[in-house]
Structure 1
């Protein structure tokens, strides 16, 4: 059985911890680049526990007789999923940010405990906090020489050998040389000698390359060391290097084997080196400090230029949205016909949606695993369907589907919540469901229509999306908006719209014209249904006659109809009805020409004005 498998793995890990003289070990979802999504070789937490979320950490104490002897840490998006996937007999469930690994260790680690961690998988700040917590108990945080998970994971896959791919300037809108020259100028201005670029999407953006090493994110496993003289080294496995890549990078970028990265860091004695503590692992800092380099902690200098999309990237994204909008509209038409038959499952629906995207001819990958949640599974915010959890879409129920595509000109992300009707009609959504959906819709519209002064940060806008839920004593346990890359990561910083402030998770980042964000308020009733409405938006300048200062707003980019069957029209104001009608007229205008005659007739009906 599955749980027996994970129990055996936990037992094997504890034996290896004892062999290494450790009293415990911390297992994150991470790789050497602090990535959100990681390759199969780095899925250590899932292998150990069965947990398939994209954010989480486990702590395992070596002594299995302790209570608790292990714990799983997840945030509000995964509180239901972790209970479904991780055996509560062996792991206590802990909620972040109400607690943390450091706090838990300060309360539960044995006195004098030596707790291991892999310095290539954790940030410097995390290690400092955990180490301080253990010191208070007379213990220590110990950087392991070999990850004990890797020792006992006998069939661990190797990192992907796929070649790196050149990302054409026609899509990037700016050459790699121009980006590297801007980085060189920044280094000179800051009186720095070099910068370590270790985040995979930053490397992809800087060098105008992409890859196939991480599912759902088109990046290549590598490191970059950029210098003030405009040169750089790319550290990448030799099998990934093609003639085209070498020609594309030119003489100013030296290509070195990936295992030459640490020796290169050790050769920076006396140099002033920029490193981002949020995006570089603790081991990089340790290597530089041991080498005698002067480390300057600062944000990765590619992060903000990457987030502010140039006109070519903006138009490319619009083009991708037209293609994607047609694919998702075809899917919704198919679902409206097939769903009421009671034969569609979460997995078959997700497969059908992927096929509609594939038929566009330009799909490179999904941008994340499709969240296909029927009924109560829709209430699991980041639900991932499996053979064990796969449900049928029952007639007379709510279905939530959050999905996206990776296209060479853009990355998409859209959520639609739909009512699965009965064959022959009948069976309307309950008054409660329509009320909740409409409150989510009202929040979505409020954010979409927001106009705000230059300098506004994401946390200042978050309340706009929550206000109608709050008025009814309701809320949702996730952010309202995340940044999105350009044929890169579907979750891209530094911008974010969420409650938290104080410099956390990008919510203090000023929103700048050219940034992509999601607009995705939701509501989730545990055990019954989930609701989310998500479109992507572009921050754009707003010309307001008589304005005192510069103002911004949002262009809505996603073009797919929203299910009118779930709307309580009586709760909408005339301005909200106007937004709905204008939005759907735009969907019909732009997406309609992509469809055949029957599909267009369906779209016309779904885009008819509400009154």
Structure 2
């Protein structure tokens, strides 16, 4: 019997591990920058297993292998990864480290690539293996790369200058703030590894990672306000050199390790959440004093300045018109049964591309019909592509990367003819009620996202149901669509970022959902901005959310009997703003449709 592609790749990897004297190897979705989304050259897990999600890991031993994903990918992993060769493991109920501690052979040598794992993971996995007399072994050169014959090369796209008219603050000022922080901490330098941090600090963007406008590079920021940028020489233009000026020294990317070793005897800040183990190893080996602190750009990047806020509002108004045009188009064409998930996603992209400021999508569009919508992070392809059936639920989660802002919006709609069932309307309305509760939330200074998460879930919980993803994530400014440290999510299960207090100027998503396996999925998502709230007689500082996304929410799926008077008022006020912002950008039948969708919602 002939082996399939992924079985052959697994066999080749095991042979390579045997040649290296290793009993196993850990394969994450990661790159040298701990990125969420990685370039094609770093898609090792997808190449090995077929898994196409954005979060997951595999462990390969000599006689067994396992895939680790969280609740977002429970269905997807079973569709894409062959269960004959991999066990399916659920995170956070288990983890790679726990599994190794229970399943690795006694005395096993388990390989890992120190350029793809963070120090906290290495510490935990080392301890787990130690209980079995085993060890975690850093590899020189990734063994998958040794057997991946047609592995793509890293992108050689030029790094691009991000103008101050969009950034709102010059790179010099940002570097000066980092230098001031280093002085306060009595540090000599900070290693900046996260690609979005580098992009923000230097006001540089790129095209090296699909859907995220960053340039592959590293930075060492010094206490005197200077910096070293380590980047492939073919990516550097005269415009970039002029933009960065004399205070930023441009060095080849492969000079990064020697640059770290040059910090011998210095006190150096490294973020253990955003820097790989190899950085710690190089610094420790050189005799630098490592101080584990959060990347000093993370919080300033998350708190958007007035120019970024204004740019985002402009991007949202533009994006709202594109999505509204699409939803009108969908209302005309989908009921005929002539459209598919792929054709709908292509049409939505076409509407977004009418804007000259669009540079990319902010992630692959989740265009999900019927049962595919029950997978929260479903990604359509030729094999999975379904027809959008008349008389069904359709979910579309999408976004754009505009020069002035990053957008992310989900709408779930009923495709006629016919009417949704009582179950459809009940679940949809409970999701809507949670969305409105979060949109209306008022909270004191010091509140973390984890303290607000229950507001969005309460109506689902009362019906005995829930959803297995966070309620809100941070969003960048023409940067990553998923940005920390702010987040709205349950605090249990090790979901990062939930202890960060919400500060005025932070962008977040508001996206509760509900998913019925094999049947349908529902999610309603807008982006919001944390803003100060003035309350007469308030004792202390309070905040609330400004809603930024303006696109009609499907009214066919709403059970108005479940809505309170306050929720109805929110709905009517929101749709009045949609009409005000989006209406002037539409005309003809699309404008008529918008007016119908934005009419007040009555109990009748």
TM-score range, shorter chain: over 0.9
Match of 1:349 in 2: 344
State the partner residue of 2:300.
305
Matches of 2:137 and 2:166, distance apart in 1: 45
Separation (CA, whole Å) in 1 of partners of 2:505 and 2:119:
31
Asked if 1:411 is matched to 2:406, the reply is yes
Contact kept in structure 2, 1:197 and 1:225, CA below 8 Å: yes
Cα deviation digits, residues 451-498 of structure 1 (max 9, x gap): 000110000000000000000001000000000000000000000000
1: CA distance, partners of 2:148 / 2:358: 33
Where 1:565 maps in the other structure, the secondary structure is coil
Paired position in structure 2 for 1:57: 57
- The question of 1:184 aligning with 2:169 is answered no
Separation of aligned partners in 2, 1:449 and 1:480: 15
Alpha carbons 2:489, 2:495 under 8 Å: kept: no
Q: 1: distance between equivalents of 2:46 and 2:509? A: 28
Task: Answer yes or no: is the 8 Å Cα contact 1:502–1:508 preserved in 2.
Answer: no
Query: Is the alpha carbon distance of 1:290 and 1:298 closer, same or farther for their aligned partners in structure 2, counting shifts above 3 Å?
Result: same
Equivalent in the alignment of 1:218? 213
CA distance in 2, matches of 1:148, 1:221: 22
Pair 1:2–1:304, CA change in 2 (3 A): farther
Per the alignment, residue 453 of structure 2 pairs with 462
Supply the distance in 1 between the matched residues of 2:184 and 2:553 (Cα, whole angstroms): 49
Q: Does 1:137 pair with 2:128?
A: no
Offset of 1:503 from its aligned partner?
Answer: 7.5
| Aligned equivalent of 1:317 | 312
Helix, strand or coil for the counterpart of 2:601? coil
Residue in 2 that maps onto 1:375: 370
2:604 pairs with 1:610: no
- For residue 504 of structure 1, report the CA deviation from its aligned partner: 4.4
Query: Kindly tell me: are residues 404 and 457 of structure 1, through their superposed partners in 2, closer, same or farther at Cα, counting changes over 3 Å?
Result: same
Q: Quick one: which of 592, 595, 599 aligns to 1:601?
A: 592
Partner SS state of residue 338, structure 1: helix
Deviation at 1:597, TM superposition (A): 3.0
Mapped to 2, the partners of 1:224 and 1:2 lie a distance apart of 48
Aligned to 2:358, the other structure's residue is in SS state coil
Query: Alpha-carbon deviations, 1:179-236, whole Å to 9, x = none?
Result: 0000000000100000000000000000000000000000000000000011100000
Mapped partners of 2:442, 2:12: distance in 1: 56
Question: Segments of 4+ in structure 1 off by > 6 A?
Answer: none
TM-score by length of 1: 0.98
- Equivalent residue number for residue 563 of structure 1: 554
Q: Secondary structure at the match of 2:476?
A: coil
Tell me the alpha carbon deviations over residues 404-427 of structure 1, each in whole angstroms, 9 at most, x when there is no partner: 0000000000000000102xxxx1
Distance 1:430 1:523, change over 3 A: same
Q: Deviations over 1:545-581 (max 9, x none)?
A: 1111110000000000000000000000000000000
CA contact 2:507–2:527 (8 Å) conserved in 1 = yes
Number of the residue aligned with 1:327: 322
Equivalent residues of 2:92, 2:493 under 8 A apart: no
Shift of 1:361: 2.2
Q: CA deviation at 1:359?
A: 1.2
User: By how many angstroms is 1:596 displaced?
Assistant: 1.7
Residue in structure 1 matched with residue 502 of structure 2 by the alignment: 511
CA contact (8 A) 1:417 1:532 kept: yes
The corresponding residue for 2:255 is 260
Q: Check conservation: 2:205, 2:213, Cα contact below 8 A.
A: yes
Q: Which moved more, 1:3-12 or 1:558-567?
A: 3-12
Match of 2:21 in 1: 21
1:527 has 2:518 as partner? yes
Please give the alpha-carbon distance, in whole angstroms, between the structure 1 residues aligned to 2:391 and 2:491: 37
Instruction: Kindly tell me the number of residue pairs found equivalent between the two proteins.
Output: 602
CA contact (8 A) 2:507 2:528 kept: yes
SS of equivalent residue, structure 1 residue 321 = helix
Question: What secondary structure, in the 3-state scheme, does the structure 2 residue paired with 1:463 have?
Answer: helix
Deviations 1:323-360 (A, max 9, x none): 00000000000000000111110111111101110012
- Report the 3-state secondary structure (helix = DSSP H, G, I; strand = E; otherwise coil) of the residue aligned with 1:432: helix
C-alpha change, 1:272 and 1:53, in structure 2 (3 Å) is same
Q: 1:98-117 counterparts in 2 under 5 A?
A: 98-117=93-112
Provide the rounded CA distance (Å) in 1 between the counterparts of 2:360 and 2:345.
14
2:36 aligned partner:
36
Preserved contact between residue 402 and residue 416 of structure 1 (Cα < 8 Å): yes
1:217-271 CA-partner distances (Å, limit 9, x unpaired): 0000000000001110000000000000000000000000000000010111110
Gaps of 5+ in 1: none
**Aligned residue number for residue 78 of structure 2:** 83
| 1:9 to partner: Cα distance | 0.4
1:192, 1:273 within 8 Å by CA — same for their partners in 2? yes
| TM-score normalised by L of structure 2 | 0.99
Q: How does 1:381-396 map to 2 (within 5 A)?
A: 381-396=376-391
Inter-partner Cα distance in structure 2 for 1:559 and 1:2: 53
Aligned residue for 1:30, secondary structure, equals coil
Cα distance in structure 2, aligned partners of 1:288 and 1:368: 35
Structure-to-structure mapping, 1:157-236, within 5 angstroms: 157-236=152-231
Question: 1: CA distance between counterparts of 2:3 and 2:569?
Answer: 53
Q: Structure 2 CA distance, aligned partners of 1:512 and 1:503?
A: 22
How far apart are residue 321 of structure 1 and its match?
A: 0.3
Aligned to 1:70: 65
Residue 581 of structure 1 aligns to a residue whose secondary structure is helix
Query: What's the counterpart of residue 589 of structure 1?
Result: 580
Alpha-carbon separation, structure 2, partners of 1:582 and 1:519: 17
Q: In 2, Cα distance between the equivalents of 1:125 and 1:377?
A: 35
Give SS of 1:277's match: coil
Shift of 1:3: 7.6
Does the CA contact (< 8 Å) of 1:440 and 1:468 recur in 2? yes
Q: CA RMSD in A?
A: 1.1
Question: Secondary structure at 1:541's aligned position in 2?
Answer: strand
Secondary structure in structure 2 of the residue aligned to 1:495: strand
| Map 1:396-435 → 2, pairs under 5 A | 396-422=391-417, 427-435=418-426
CA drift of 1:146 comes to: 1.2
Cα gap change, 1:2 to 1:307, in 2 (>3 Å): farther
Checking the alignment, whether the CA contact within 8 Å between 1:266 and 1:288 is kept in structure 2 is yes
For 2:495 and 2:429, the matched residues in 1 are separated by 30
Whole-angstrom CA distance in 1 between matches of 2:2 and 2:32:
29
Give the 3-state SS of the residue equivalent to 1:107 in structure 2: helix
- Distance in structure 2 (CA, Å) of the matches to 1:340 and 1:401: 16
